[in-house]
Amino acid sequence: MTDQTYPALATANRNTSPTNASVKTQRLANQIMLFAIALVVTIVFAFPIYFMVSSSFKAENEVLASPVHIIPEDFQGIAQFQKAFETVPLGRYFFNSFLTAGIDVVVTVFFSALAGFGFAKYDFRGRRIFFFFILTTMTIPFQVLLVPLFIEVRSFGWDDSYAGLIVPGIMNAFGVFMMRQFAYGIPDELMDAARIDGASEFRIFWRIVFPLLAPASASLSIIIFLWSWNNFLWPLIVIKNQDLAPIQVGITAFTQAHSAEPQWAVAMAVSTLATLPVAFLFIFFQRYFIEGMTMGGVKG
Amino acid sequence: MAVRTVKGSSYIARRQYWGLAFVLPTVIFFAIFFLFPILSGIYYSFTDFTLLKPPVFVGLQNYQDLLKDRLFLKSISVTLGFVAGTTIPAWILSLAAAVLFFQKFKGREILKVFFFAPVLPSLIVVAIVWKILLHPSGVLTTVLRPLTGAGEINWLDNPALSPISMIIITNWTIIPFYMLIWLAGLTGIPTDLREAALVDGANRLQSFLRVELPLLRPTAVFIAAISTINAFQGFTLQYAISPGKGGPIDVNTTMSLLVWKYGFQFYRMGDASAVSMVLFAMIMIVIAVQLWLTRQNQY
Amino acid sequence: MTKRFGILTVMIALLAIVTSAVSAQDPVVVKLWMHNHPPRVPLDEAQIAKFEEENPGIKVEFTVVPDQEWDTTLGTALASGSGPDLFNQATFAIGQFYSQGVLAPLNPTAAGYADQAAVYDAYEAGDALLAGATFADTLYGLPTELSAYACYTNDALWEAAGLDPATDFPTTWEELKDVAEKLTVRDDAGALTQRGFDFKWDASIFMLLIFNPMVQQLGGQMIDEVNYTANINTPEVKQVLGYWNDWANTWKLGGAQYTSSRAAFLAGELATDCDGGNWFAPQAEEAGIEYSIHPIPVWENATNDNGFANYAYFFMVNSAASPEVQEASWKLAGYLTDNPAEYLDVAGLFQAKADFVASEAFTSNTIMPVFLDELAASTYHPRINGFFEVADALMRMRDRVVVGGEDIDTVLTEAQDEVTAILEASKPAQ
């Protein structure tokens, strides 16, 4: 796949102005302009994150200092990180978060794609009601569902266990809704062609639709991982045994200590570490957002 | 070669049931884990429930009280303001960001990762960082000083500025998030369609409006709906950094925050459930209208 | 026939002996929940291990809960019937819990005391201090930490301003204003970079811990916890609210928009902080602040010289637990409250046991006597059903004047109605 920025534009220019030099200058100017805009926008957006990261290298009384210290003046090195690992079993927390998020992503993305496809491309009795019901679960504030959900999970015997921690979040209405929208964009001709060739409906899903939903799946994977990773309230309520606690509950040891002011520097250190996995995931999935990963075989 | 397909109505009807099969796993999951809590929530809204003792049925009492509850009525206007401020701007700006990051230029990938950074930390941490940055003589005030000349600006404590601060912070967190979804949508548009429009003489903007935007319609509808649902449920930010959890003078008490307050701070879970039912109804009406106005025609 | 009957009898007897032996060996399990107070957690774990050794029939499941989410977690657990048996609860919620019948009264003998009266005797100023958990002459808890606020001064900042904390510390609120002005520093743009003193504005609870006691100093009483009535539209309240308002808007010495007082003190940008208990001292030391402790100021026209409100955390027992579990819980509670010296040293927690207070370890401590004086001179905050709702309404009242700029008389009148309505709705059925 060649890096054609403006294929049509290039063609047009080649037709009207004969020199390659002016094409290159035009492209360079565009590149610089785009980069500049993107840079400014990115700095504005990323600054608070920079602040979080830089605070993890500050001494405790520097974090809240006013006027704000943009660069740590009393550089702590990895002292705050070490303190985090010494105070709580951070490795265990990371493991629990990974386990929960990993399972959530795989199960949610697969079943959301399946259900989204079902809602978008099939017409069966009850379709509207089922979709409405699933939408409902997204619209009621979780604080209200918290107590009865906990009562229910407890009745299964799952409180204070991995099952109770992971299973209630293993599917996501957002995922279903999102995949339905993306599934609408898949041309029926592709599916009909496969049916003519004798493929079963599930095979159509697995071989044709799911690969075409790759960009959406990539986005959804990042989103679900993020939500699962940052989930706080449910793990807090359902887990008592600290061996099962995820990162977000672990952070509270620094932000919500009893009769003590929060230790922000350490909390920022833990948060910085906590954002790395999702950042890596985002980078990893970038290749699904490259233009051109589209439906093959469609004639314009 | 002639293709023979069996196209009896029963064949098509049978095929549709596959859709049901695909959908059933998720429906069953939600039925198991959410039906009981939702029905419980509805039941609680008709009770007096302090959490410390079992619920006591009181009929419509909670709803009648809500009609006269000044705090509840205020929370509705707070919520609507928050919704307006975090749906439309975010929708537009996230699309603009997606288009920007869809263009090819050197350094795009690195910048994209950093642009996405606001989404990564948990909202609690985001809140804390912003609380520091929004100190009356903090970074934002200093940066704006040439324009305002003000030594201090009470971003979080001024009743007028505080909700605006919440809106700004929320937009900051969700624009990169929705950009991600727009990117997925843009990626799915066949390149040749776009190029065809350009060759036909359309400029980039026209090509965008006429070709890409209509193809982005499902994504656009989705983001509009999701941002609305999320906005109506705005809670964590206000919980974490508004003075006194919802203040000052309740200008940041969204309906969702009120649910938490009534349920877990005032031990009035029955009232909390009633508020959440009203909130739920509001969201469903708005979403239903949205989805109906933009209903999908299969092509 | 007789033979079979005899064998049957023997078998039944054996069965009875075996089952009773087995059930006697079944340990009683006590679920204990405490807040996450890092210095005390290892101490508690060690104590619990020793307790289990000495009491083989009792097993303890110990859970530590993040502070801010304590109410949510405890509420959910109790609502689902899976609440703890023994929990360390604050007096803020005790009114709610008591009126809902959640609390079991103290079992003095299980906890190691001769009777209830002996418990009061075991604590210094027992009647006043244990009043926090006393309802209708019955005691419902054993204290794990008692708290009274005193004033901390950042001595370095005071000396830099040419003041001597030992002699210049103000005894009245009126004097405080003048002293604070000398300790206030602004930068070129007019922004406050250092405050001399500030109230704690950021949580509604301080309206009942700090604001209300200032009203009490003038002889007023905003909340009557026995009759569930409110007394808000009074000259005393007006004077206190006027002072808070002046502090932020007239004299511009502080306000809700700045960093919260304790955090600011630890960061070295607040010279005086009057909302720290003795548990704040270790934190000040760790932050490298040289501090000294002073009593809370009073008004020039004060009729009482109370300090700020007392509050405490008490071990409480869930009334839904079985009698054996309740007994075991009180036993554990008594055991864990029997080491005041260690808990003070390691965790900075004050358990005012009489023999500890009389001991050398206590009297040689420089700051504890000040806290004990404040504790003895002040009373508990109102312990009512609807505590947080009332606090919320009071904070709204304050903000309407200070932040919203509304007329103080109008606001007081409306607040009177609002709080009265809340109290009436919260009043437990007789």
pLDDT 10s digits, A265-300: 888 899 899 888 888 888 888 777 655 444 333 332
Q: B201: pLDDT confidence band, cut at 50, 70 and 90?
A: low
Q: Do A133 and B30 touch (CB under 8 A)?
A: yes
Chain C positions touching B250 (Cβ under 8 A) are 396
Q: B297: pLDDT confidence band, cut at 50, 70 and 90?
A: low
Residue scoring higher pLDDT (C356 or C174) = C174
Chain C positions touching A154 (Cβ under 8 A) are 80, 82
Q: A18: pLDDT confidence band, cut at 50, 70 and 90?
A: low
Chain B positions touching A5 (Cβ under 8 A) are 103-104
What's the gap in Å between the CA of C179 and the closest CA on chain B? 23
What average pLDDT score do residues C266-275 get? 93
Residue ranges per structural domain of chain B: 65-293
Q: Tokens at residue A15, please? A: 């037709």
Domains of chain C: 6-148+310-377 (3.40.190.10), 150-309+384-426 (3.40.190.10)
Q: Do B222 and A181 touch (CB under 8 A)?
A: yes
Q: Do B152 and C192 touch (CB under 8 A)?
A: yes
Assess whether pLDDT exceeds 90 at residue B219.
no
Q: What is the pLDDT of residue C183?
A: 95
Q: What is the pLDDT of residue B1?
A: 44
Nearest to C354 by CA among C184, C121, C131: C121
Q: What is the pLDDT of residue B3?
A: 47
Nearest to C201 among B51, B145, B243 (CB): B243
Q: B11: pLDDT confidence band, cut at 50, 70 and 90?
A: low
Chain A positions touching C268 (Cβ under 8 A) are 61
Which H or E run includes B121?
A: none
B121 touches chain A (CB under 8 A): yes
The CATH code that applies to domain B65-293 is 1.10.3720.10
The per-residue pLDDT for range A217-250, each reduced to its tens digit, is 988 998 899 889 988 888 988 887 888 889 888 8
Assess whether pLDDT exceeds 60 at residue C31.
yes
Assess whether pLDDT exceeds 90 at residue C20.
no
- Residue C408 burial (C-beta neighbours within 10 Å; 0-12, 13-18, 19+): middle
For chain C, the average pLDDT equals 89
Least confident of A142-146, B10-14, C210-214, C361-365: B10-14
Residues 347-386 of C with CB under 8 A from A: 348-349
Q: What is the pLDDT of residue C25?
A: 58
The per-residue pLDDT for range C188-245, each reduced to its tens digit, is 888 899 999 999 999 999 999 999 999 999 999 999 998 999 999 999 999 999 999 9
Q: Do B264 and C72 touch (CB under 8 A)?
A: yes
* Bridge partners, residue C380, by sequence: C310
The per-residue pLDDT for range A249-259, each reduced to its tens digit, is 888 778 777 77
- Residue B103 burial (C-beta neighbours within 10 Å; 0-12, 13-18, 19+): middle
Distances (CA, A) of A27 to A17, B201, B276: 14, 19, 54
What average pLDDT score do residues C283-298 get? 92
Q: B175: pLDDT confidence band, cut at 50, 70 and 90?
A: very high
Task: Enter the DSSP assignment of C295.
Answer: P
Q: What is the pLDDT of residue C27?
A: 85
In sequence order, what are the residues at sequence separation of 6 or more whose Cβ sits closer than 8 angstroms to the Cβ of residue B197? B206, B207, B210, B211
Assess whether pLDDT exceeds 70 at residue C280.
yes
Chain A positions touching B34 (Cβ under 8 A) are 136-137, 145, 149
In one letter, which amino acid is C164? D
What average pLDDT score do residues C141-156 get? 92
Q: What is the pLDDT of residue A68?
A: 72
Q: Do B244 and C389 touch (CB under 8 A)?
A: no
The per-residue pLDDT for range B73-127, each reduced to its tens digit, is 999 999 999 999 999 999 999 999 998 888 888 888 889 889 988 888 888 888 8
Domains of chain A: 7-81 (no CATH), 83-289 (1.10.3720.10)
C-alpha–C-alpha distance, residues B282 and B229, integer Å: 10
For chain B, the average pLDDT equals 86
Q: What is the pLDDT of residue B209?
A: 75
Instruction: Please name the residue that has the structure tokens 């009490």.
Output: C216
Q: Do A249 and C66 touch (CB under 8 A)?
A: yes
Touching B: which chains, 3+ CB pairs < 8 A? A, C
Q: Do B129 and A196 touch (CB under 8 A)?
A: no
Chain C positions touching A261 (Cβ under 8 A) are 262-263, 266, 283
Q: What is the pLDDT of residue B145?
A: 86
C-alpha–C-alpha distance, residues C268 and C165, integer Å: 16
Three-class DSSP labels, chain A? CCCCCCHHHHHHHHHHCCCHHHHHHHHHHHHHHHHHHHHHHHHHHHHHHHHHHHHCCCCHHHHCCCCCCCCCCCCCCCHHHHHHHHHCCHHHHHHHHHHHHHHHHHHHHHHHHHHHHHHHHCCCCCHHHHHHHHHHHHHCCHHHHHHHHHHHHHHCCCCCCHHHHHHHHCCCHHHHHHHHHHHHCCCHHHHHHHHHCCCCHHHHHHHHHHHHCHHHHHHHHHHHHHHHHHCCHHHHHHCCCHHHCCHHHHHHHHHCCCCCCCCHHHHHHHHHHHHHHHHHHHHHHHHHHCCCCCCCCCCC
The per-residue pLDDT for range A96-124, each reduced to its tens digit, is 999 999 999 999 999 999 999 999 999 88
Least confident of A221-230, B39-48, C60-69: C60-69
Assess whether pLDDT exceeds 80 at residue C6.
no
Q: What is the pLDDT of residue C2?
A: 61
Q: Tokens at residue C333, please? A: 């509670």
Chain C positions touching B265 (Cβ under 8 A) are 71, 388-389, 392
User: Which of B24, B34, B100 to mutate: most A Cβ within 10 Å?
Assistant: B34
C-alpha–C-alpha distance, residues B136 and A66, integer Å: 9
Nearest to C66 among A61, A65, A256 (CB): A256
Nearest to C102 by CA among C117, C124, C119, C81: C81
Touching A: which chains, 3+ CB pairs < 8 A? B, C
What average pLDDT score do residues C164-179 get? 95
Assess whether pLDDT exceeds 70 at residue C23.
no
Residues 253-272 of B with CB under 8 A from A: 255-256, 259-260, 263-264, 269, 272
C-alpha–C-alpha distance, residues A284 and C179, integer Å: 60
Q: What is the pLDDT of residue B151?
A: 81
The per-residue pLDDT for range A147-164, each reduced to its tens digit, is 899 989 988 989 889 999
What's the gap in Å between the CA of B89 and the closest CA on chain C? 28
Residue scoring higher pLDDT (B191 or A92) = A92
Residues 268-287 of B with CB under 8 A from C: 269
Q: Is C284 left (phi over 0), alpha (psi -120 to 50) or beta?
A: alpha
B264 touches chain C (CB under 8 A): yes
Nearest to C79 among B51, B150, B154 (CB): B51
Q: A11: pLDDT confidence band, cut at 50, 70 and 90?
A: very low
* Bridge partners, residue B48, by sequence: B56
Three-class DSSP labels, C370-425? HHHHHHHHCCECCCCCCHHHHHHHHHHHHHHHHCCCCCHHHHHHHHHHHHHHHHHH
Does the pTM surpass 0.90? The reply is no
Nearest to A213 by CA among A292, A118, A107, A117: A117
Chain B positions touching A127 (Cβ under 8 A) are 19-20, 23
Q: Do A67 and C279 touch (CB under 8 A)?
A: no
Q: What is the pLDDT of residue B60?
A: 95
Q: What is the pLDDT of residue A290?
A: 58
Q: Tokens at residue A12, please? A: 């047009």
ipTM: 0.86
What average pLDDT score do residues A6-20 get? 50
Q: Do C71 and B265 touch (CB under 8 A)?
A: yes
Assess whether pLDDT exceeds 90 at residue C353.
no
Assess whether pLDDT exceeds 80 at residue C88.
yes
What average pLDDT score do residues C106-125 get? 90
Q: Tokens at residue C119, please? A: 């418990």
B227 touches chain C (CB under 8 A): no
Chain C positions touching B266 (Cβ under 8 A) are 386, 388-389, 392
- What percent of chain A lies above the pLDDT cut of 90? 23
Contact status, residue B184 vs residue A289, Cβ threshold 8 Å: yes
- What percent of chain C lies above the pLDDT cut of 90? 63
